[in-house]
Structure 1
Amino acid sequence: MAPSSSSTSVLLILLLSVVPASLASTPVSDGLELELGGDGLYREILRDETVLRLKELGKISDGEGFLERTFLSPASFRATDVIISWMKDAGLTTWVDQMGNIHGRFEPSNSTDKALLIGSHMDTVIDAGMYDGALGIICAISALKVLRVTGKLQRLTRPVEVIAFSDEEGVRFQTTFLGSAAVAGILPESILQVSDKSGTTVQEVLRLNSFEASADALGQVKYSPESVGSYVEVHLEQGPVLEALRYPLGVVKGIAGQTRLKVIVDGSQGHAGTVPMKLRRDPMVAAAELVVTLEGLCKDPSRFLTYDEECGCFTEESLAGLVCTVGELLTWPSASNVIPGQVNFTVDIRAMDDLVRETIVASFSRIVMQRCDHRLVDCAVEHKHSAAATPCDPELTAQLKRATRSAVSAMAPGGHGHGRAVGAGESTAATPVLMSGAGHDAMAMARLTRVGMLFVRCRGGVSHSPEEHVAEDDVWAAGLALLRFVDQHAVAEL
């Protein structure tokens, strides 16, 4: 079947958003002396050791036979000890703050420059892959270790700090960015009273693990904007674009905005065999209708949203990145022979355009009330999380482009090394520029300082799954690009 003109336009917009701008006129600078083993490209540390550490961290889990490491769980503390040992191995001073974030910092003597922060998250989803979050932490530690073993760490002109954030996924408390939001100073005091499924609050979890768990303690975690110059994050792409472009790395120009909702549907619990269909107030059927309605709303938003041709309120480009997901559905009492009394489900709405996202949220909330009234059930929509779309800093993006092109060119056939990050016939002339549909700690950190992100190719675009995979040479390319970025950004010339 031939695609419609509308579908073709949307596809073209999506492709144009990731087509790399040409860097043919930009000179390639190696940036670093190639003086240490591994084809002169630090393979032993940036690839071999990094991959081994990714596998080691991937085995530290609260689950049996699968990877699960949530906020302040027993596995998270075992992981903390390991990450601290790696930070010390890189020559960094370490500490754990009052929200469980792990810090490793090098502070030049007499430096008055603002710090460069590099980080990602140490927590995982349930049944996770071993690269999400961990890749960014370990690549950063490895890059600084190379600076230590080559004697360049002492030549840093500004403080450089690696942070392993304690919670980004929001699995335990259904609220994202606990770690990075605390560092950015945007975590509300009310978060202490949020509870997990067992009824345990954030405050109780912190106190059980010997943290102070007070508003004053949260204030101590916050960094002042005057002390931080920038934040950079390395992360696997979690999508298929880089693989389709046959390129190992890409820079991120922005992150989609995100809203998380919880919908609560209350009906009348009853016997499955004795309550006539016409007399039921069944929250399961109402919830099912709402889930399907949400899918239709996000697949074809033009059916529900007012579009004004004159003002151009919603263009095909602004709607192209819209995605909506129901990832969790809970019923009570959850028995096969009982009409449920209550059904709860989560809603995740993301879009590059904040106005589109906010309009979808408002439209869906209105539809929920209408459909629930029609079915004679009671409904409530709780807003659990909201984050605006986050643009990346143009200067940091340009620096990451240069570092990426330099690293990938050096690893290509005929380059300084003999890596295979870019194979024969693959382009080395430009660095892809992408938008991120996934949320990242950079979204919270953007409230503190300017941010930049580097994406790493992943097999099949698969993430949040045990099948998540990044090729070893792509890990190497990411580490080398980050190393060159730090060298350009924070190391003095002799």
Structure 2
Amino acid sequence: MKDAGLTTWIDQMGNIHGRYERSNSTDNALLIGSHMDTVIDAGMYDGALGIVCAISALKVLKVTGKLERLTRPVEVIAFSDEEGVKFQTTFLGSAAVAGILPESILQVSDKSGTTVEDVLKLNSFKATAAALGQVKYSPESVGSYVEVHLEQGPVLEALRYPLGVVKGIAGQTRLKVIVDGSQGHAGTVPMKLRRDPMVAAAELVVTLESLCKEPSRFLTYDEECGCFTEESLAGLVCTVGELLTWPSASNVIPGQVNFTVDIRAMDDVVRETIVASFSRIVMQRCDDRLVDCAVEHKHSAPATPCDAELTTQLELATRSAVSAMTPPSIGGGQRRAEPTPVLMSGAGHDAMAMARLTKVGMVFVRCRGGVSHSPEEHVAEDDVWAAGLALLRFVDQTVVAEL
């Protein structure tokens, strides 16, 4: 960031900022960012790609002398803890900047009992509600937020196009289901007398899959709200990504089983109905199996539409960048780039939190095989170049004054 001519600092949630601001520019900043963290056993592009593209675009402006011609401040933010791996609550860094992070977040703990407050203090942050309040940006000081991110899906590769523009992000809910039974010896407790939380948990996992694959079996169409049409159910996905058992021994009937649930949908009414239906089913099935259950809501975020004007500007910038990188046709001159694909995002991004502060726009970058959250995650160098060039052209066209 410093090499790109930016003034840098780290805020009290661990976000890294780099900003360029002329003395006579308006206080209506363009924020560009993504996240630094990633998931367990991950690749190297998720999050970091967007930060590198933003810094490289501003460095080009510095080298070409255009940085001094910015009509408003431009700031790159490398957000902390977007994924929610440690504390099972996402967007800590961007939610703090957006001003939607509750004070209670400081007392949220990980599996070992370590709290957010503990981790912040360990890293020399003040870890107080007042300190986190200072991270918040006022809506009046921000004009827009733009994020570049790898697609994490196969659509762009199938279309054979390096970049896409995002029109909206699916809403998501994260749950933790706790199933308590009776711990016992695997060889001495008769099957009919068992209160086995593992079997109950297994049944609930399969039920969740059925609920999301065939929701019409469980839900009824509501004429008043128009819910559960084929269009509204598009993009509905449910995942159990983590399952923990205690005491986790081959010759012991477990005493407790916990598992996580991730539910996403483009339609918030659909998502909320699925969450409510699954929670109700959990209690019914647990009663049937004589085990005790609890459903904890860990995270919820509404579906986020991207700003129409920003989306149009990003479409023009990506088309221009791809056209510039396309080899000239046989007849001479540049080949006209095809229209930029416009996609929905099933994955969550910092833009979801930032949408509570300002209007947002996103650019997706093609990834090999649509694979992400994996060591196999890969983005071609030319596609990284295209993304950086598109971001450069967007900034050049929207916030750089003409001579």
Q: Does 1:490 align with 2:396?
A: no
Task: Report Cα offsets for 1:205-225 as digits up to 9, x if no partner.
Answer: 111111000000010000000
Secondary structure of the equivalent of 2:172?
Answer: strand
Q: Would you say the 8 A contact 2:173–2:262 is kept in 1? A: yes
Partners of 2:324 and 2:334 within 8 A in 1: no
Distance (whole Å) between structure 1 residues aligned to residue 223 and residue 356 of structure 2: 34
**In structure 2, what is the equivalent of residue 163 of structure 1?**
77
Structure 2 residue aligned with 1:456:
365
Cα distance in 2, alignment partners of residues 315 and 423 from structure 1: 49
Number of equivalent positions: 400
Contact 1:271 1:337 in 2 (8 A): yes
Query: Partner of 1:427 in structure 2?
Result: 335
The CA deviation at 1:197 is 1.4
Structure 2 residues without counterparts, runs of 5 or longer? none
* 1:123, distance to aligned residue in structure 2 (A): 0.3
Contact map agreement 2:19 2:74 (CA 8 A) in 1:
yes
- Once residues 187 and 233 of structure 2 are traced to their aligned partners in structure 1, the CA distance between those partners, rounded to angstroms, is 45
Shift in Å, 1:311: 5.3
Contact 2:61 2:67 in 1 (8 A): yes
- The Cα of 1:308 is off from its aligned counterpart by 3.6
Q: CA deviation at 1:312?
A: 2.8
CA contact (8 A) 1:249 1:457 kept: yes
Q: How far apart, CA to CA, are the structure 1 residues paired with 2:379 and 2:211?
A: 34
- Report deviation, 1:329: 0.1
Once the two structures are TM-superposed, the CA of residue 423 in structure 1 deviates from its matched residue by 16
Aligned to 1:275: 189
Contact 1:246/1:426 (<8 A) preserved: no
Deviations 1:255-284 (A, max 9, x none): 000000000000000000000000000000
Q: CA RMSD in A?
A: 2.0
Shift of 1:310: 7.0
d(CA) in 2 for partners of 1:410 and 1:300? 45
- Please identify which structure carries the higher helix content: 1
8 Å CA contact 1:247–1:422 kept in 2: the answer is no
Q: Residues 378 and 149 from structure 1, CA distance in 2 versus in 1: closer, same or farther, beyond 3 angstroms?
A: same
Conserved in 1, the CA contact under 8 Å of 2:166 and 2:345?
yes
Contact 1:235 1:456 in 2 (8 A): yes
Q: What do residues 97-138 of structure 1 show as CA deviations (whole Å, max 9, x unaligned)?
A: 000000000011121240000000000101110000000000
The one-character-per-residue Cα deviations of 1:137-164 (angstroms, maximum 9, x if unpaired) are 0000000000001111111110000000
1:313 deviation in Å? 1.9
Pair 1:405–1:428, CA change in 2 (3 A): same
Measured after TM superposition, the shift of residue 426 of structure 1 is 13
Write the distance in 2 (CA, Å) between the matches of 1:234 and 1:260: 24
Contact 1:247–1:427 under 8 Å retained in 2: no
CA distance in structure 2 between the partners assigned to 1:293 and 1:329 by the alignment: 15
Measured after TM superposition, the shift of residue 168 of structure 1 is 0.3
Q: Identify which range, 112-121 or 275-284, moves more after superposition.
A: 112-121
SS at match of 1:320: coil
**Partner SS state of residue 221, structure 2:** coil
Partner of 2:224: 310
Instruction: Summarize the Cα distance change of 1:253–1:422 in structure 2 as closer, same or farther, 3 Å threshold.
Output: farther
Which region of structure 1 is more displaced relative to structure 2, 202-211 or 176-185?
202-211
* Structure-1 separation of matches of 2:301 and 2:130: 25
- C-alpha distance 305-422 of structure 1, shift in aligned 2 (>3 A): farther
Confirm or deny: 8 A CA contact 1:157 1:492 kept in the other structure. yes
Given that 2:323 and 2:335 are in contact with CA atoms closer than 8 Å, whether structure 1 keeps it comes out as no
Once the two structures are superposed, what CA deviation does each residue of 1:359-417 show, in whole Å capped at 9, x if it has no partner? Answer: 0000000000000000000000000000000000000000000000111011111xxxx
In 1, are the aligned partners of 2:121 and 2:127 still within 8 Å (CA)? yes
Distance 1:239 1:465, change over 3 A: same
Shift of 1:489: 1.3
2:25–2:70: 8 Å Cα contact kept in structure 1?
Answer: no
> Which structure: greater strand fraction?
2
Q: 1:395 to 1:289 in 2, by over 3 A?
A: same
CA deviations on 1:405-441 (whole Å, 9 max, x unpaired) are 111011111xxxxxxx999999954x00000000000
Deviations 1:288-336 (A, max 9, x none): 0000000000000010111145753211011121000000000000000
Q: 1:450 to 1:422 in 2, by over 3 A?
A: farther
For 2:19 and 2:224, the matched residues in 1 are separated by 53
Between 109-118 and 335-344, report the one with greater CA deviation. Answer: 109-118
For the 8 Å contact 1:412–1:422, the answer to whether it is kept is no
1:440–1:427 CA distance, 2 compared to 1 (3 A): farther
5+ residue gaps, structure 1: 1-86, 414-420
The structure-2 alpha-carbon separation of the partners of 1:454 and 1:276, relative to structure 1 and needing over 3 Å to count, comes to same
Give the 3 Å change call, closer, same or farther, for CA 366–113 of structure 1 in structure 2: same
The farther-off stretch of 312-321 and 341-350 is 312-321
- Percent identity, please: 92
Q: Residue 261 of structure 1 contacts residue 384 of structure 1 at CA under 8 Å; is this kept in 2?
A: yes
Structure 1 Cα separation of the partners of residues 387 and 199 of structure 2? 48
Deviation at 1:89, TM superposition (A): 0.5
The CA distance in 1 between the partners of 2:214 and 2:30, in whole Å, is: 42
What is the rounded CA distance, in whole Å, between the counterparts of 1:129 and 1:232 in structure 2?
A: 22
Instruction: Give, in whole Å, the separation in 1 of the partners of 2:269 and 2:330.
Output: 39
- In the alignment, the residues of structure 2 paired with residue 401 and residue 132 of structure 1 have an alpha-carbon distance, to the nearest angstrom, of 22
CA contact (8 A) 1:248 1:422 kept: no
Given the two structures, how large is their TM-score scaled by the length of structure 1? Answer: 0.79
Deviations 1:9-47 (A, max 9, x none): xxxxxxxxxxxxxxxxxxxxxxxxxxxxxxxxxxxxxxx
Query: Does the 8 Å CA contact 1:115/1:229 hold for their aligned counterparts?
Result: yes
Measured against aligned partners, the alpha-carbon deviations of 1:426-484 in whole angstroms (never above 9, x if no partner) come to 9954x000000000000000000000000000000000001000000000000000000
Measure, in 1, the Cα distance between the counterparts of 2:325 and 2:260.
44
